Structure 1
Amino acid sequence: MKAIFDERQWKHQPKNFMANGALLPNPEQPERIDRLLIGAKAAGCTVQAPDDAGLGPIAAIHSAEYLTFLQNIYTRWRRIDGAGEEVIPNIHPANRTDSYPKSAIGQAGFHQADTACPIASGTWEAAYWSAQSAITGADLLTTERAVYALSRPPGHHAFGDLAGGFCFLNNSAIAAERLLAQGKRPAILDVDVHHGNGTQGIFYNRRDVLTVSLHADPARFYPFFWGHTDERGEGAGLGYNLNLCLSRGTDDAGFLAGLDVALQQIRSFGADVVVVALGLDAFIDDPFKGLAVTTEGFGRIGAAIAGLGLPTLFVQEGGYLCKELGDNLTSTLTGFESA
């Protein structure tokens, strides 16, 4: 299997993360790259850099207004007297139809959903190449059975014009849109411990991309406001979004039972390609401790996905610093390859 990664993805080095009113070290650290690369290579992956497809595939998902913000906000922020070293909002609009301010502070509040997506000097460049890794991965599915995109920073909490939850550009959505433009019928399968709320939001009114997410029940878990079972899509998209909420602490057997339902939905949709938003944070010892999937369980997840018999793009989402992070990636990819 080929793995796609660009060295410029190291440039996003977030420092801060506010949770429960406390300022904490940001969990989405560049060290994740080292551990994931080790895991990919242990699975037999050959690593290559992505091509540069330009802004077009990204702008097919994200608004021009938002992309302008991401490219320029850090420079503008540094001009504010006494501003912190990272762009972190302190005010938000009540809804997306409120006025769009001219100030950097106001725009940060409009385009950043929470305090978990700080923007610094290297954020845009890293996010851009993270997206290009997913785009190149999608393009390679014309000749490859499966590809792994080491997309870091991750993407599934990013909406069309809104960052959040460590995410800036929605790599999985960008890849699915790229495949759609090639005449494919893509489904997105999100197995991250957190609901892929940005992905859901992007496709919620559409029927050309199926979105399915297995995640810890958001009634008491991030992202709280999205990811519930009654969210089935709207308008043309009604019935094309499926959320499978799992109880906190769900183990391998419970996760795989939910995955069976997800895979049947993908078959019923008639997908001819699948984008897997590959969060490894469902692991029992992940710092977020939402679910209890084991390293061996990730292998069974990979094997079950292989059972679809479809070209598959694995796009890295969550999975945070613990000694088994690389092993969990190895288990997933080898489980897929050996099935």
Structure 2
Amino acid sequence: MRTVYNQRHAAHAATHEFFRGRLVPAFEVPARADYVLQAVQAAQFGEILNPVDHGLAPLERVHAPAYLRFIQGAHAEWLALGGEGDAFPAVWPVRSLRSDVEPASFAARMGLYSMDSGTPLTAGSWEASYWGAQAALTGLDLALGDEGRAYVLTRPPGHHAGADFFGGYCFINNAAVAAQAALDRGLSRVAILDVDYHHGNGTQAIFYERSDVFYASVHGDPRTEYPFFLGHADERGAGAGLGFNANVPLPSGSSNEAWFAALEEALAPLARYAPDLLIVSLGVDTYAHDPISHFKLDRLEFGQLGQRIAAFGAPRTLFLQEGGYATEAIGHNVVAVLRGFEERRP
């Protein structure tokens, strides 16, 4: 399996974030990708490629152009206004306030285009995220080619980013960009399986009223776990998308047996859907020692996850890196998934 590596990921390098209202050292750091790269190189899976630039147009198929323009220029605007370091939002257009008019105030636009205060906007957020999306598109090129699979190593992650907002460390939704690009290239059914500890609210929202992308997620119960306001089991899609969204939330601390049972519950409707392409939002923050998550998977279970994804039998599979914040363990956990997939793949 070839890997596409976003070598520009380190342009986004936050030092701190707000976590549950407290300023703490950042969890989403460049070392996450560095450890994965070392592990992938040691595993000798295959060639490691740099992303090819597919331009801005594929991003605009998923994200609002005004939002993309804001992310491109936001940090420079922050500095021009006298700001220092990373920028954080401080005000949001909650219920009863209007969000259909873009304010002139930078602080107001930060709130308009964000969902939390835990996602620092740095000098390199756009560069890292743009090239992350290009890595996802390059991975799609490989998955649609002769090999039928690829792994995309990038950060920051993407699945919390909506069509016009950032949050949860995410700015560009790589899974959504890749899914839409696959449809634009002629595929008719794409499935996204999200195994990150946190529900991919952005991915769900982007495709919630569509039947050409089936989104399924196994994650921590949003009643207690981020993103809190989406990811419940009764969210099944709407309009044309009714029945094409499946959430399987689990309580914090759930056993590995419960997690794999939930995985089967998520895979069952995907099997009936019979996708042309399976995109895996590969978060390994389900790890037993992850600092901000509360499941119990370890290297053995990650290998079993890879085997199960291979046994699913999608004709094409694209792995996209999402979460995982036990930095020194992340590479071993990712490699366990990929090795399990390669060992079981027909």
**TM-score (normalizing by structure 2):** 0.95
Matches within 5 A, 1:276-315: 276-310=280-314, 311-315=316-320
8 Å CA contact 1:13–1:29 kept in 2: the answer is yes
Greater shift after overlay, 255-264 or 50-59? 255-264
Letter in 1 for 2:119: C
8 Å CA contact 1:74–1:120 kept in 2: the answer is yes
Unaligned runs of 5+ in 2: none
Letter in 2 for 1:58: L
Please state whether the residue corresponding to 1:57 is helix, strand or coil. Answer: helix
Work out the percentage of aligned pairs sharing the same amino acid: 42
Matches within 5 A, 1:312-327: 312-327=317-332
Cα offsets for 1:123-155 (capped at 9, x unmatched): 100100011111100111122232000121100
Cα offsets for 1:212-251 (capped at 9, x unmatched): 0000111111010000011111111111110001121123
Q: What is the CA distance between 1:98 and its match in structure 2?
A: 4.8
Letter in 2 for 1:232: R
8 Å CA contact 2:32–2:327 kept in 1: the answer is no
How far apart, in 2, do the equivalents of 1:289 and 1:240 lie? 27
2:161 is aligned, of 154, 158, 163, to 158
Q: What is the CA distance between 1:91 and its match in structure 2?
A: 0.5
Aligned equivalent of 1:139: 141
8 Å CA contact 2:99–2:112 kept in 1: the answer is no
* 1:333 pairs with 2:343: no
Please state whether the residue corresponding to 1:219 is helix, strand or coil. Answer: coil
Aligned equivalent of 1:53: 54
Q: What is the CA distance between 1:99 and its match in structure 2?
A: 3.1
8 Å CA contact 1:61–1:174 kept in 2: the answer is yes
Return structure 1 stretches of 4+ with deviation > 4 angstroms: none
Aligned equivalent of 2:218: 214
Aligned equivalent of 1:73: 74
Q: What is the CA distance between 1:33 and its match in structure 2?
A: 1.2
How far apart, in 1, do the equivalents of 2:340 and 2:80 lie? 50
Aligned equivalent of 1:271: 275
Aligned equivalent of 2:171: 168
Number of matched residues?
338
How far apart, in 2, do the equivalents of 1:187 and 1:21 lie? 35
Q: What is the CA distance between 1:260 and its match in structure 2?
A: 1.2
Aligned equivalent of 2:242: 238
Aligned equivalent of 1:33: 33
How far apart, in 2, do the equivalents of 1:296 and 1:222 lie? 26
How far apart, in 1, do the equivalents of 2:310 and 2:118 lie? 33
Q: What is the CA distance between 1:43 and its match in structure 2?
A: 3.4
Unaligned runs of 5+ in 1: none
Cα offsets for 1:39-71 (capped at 9, x unmatched): 222333321101100001111100100010011
Aligned equivalent of 2:19: 19
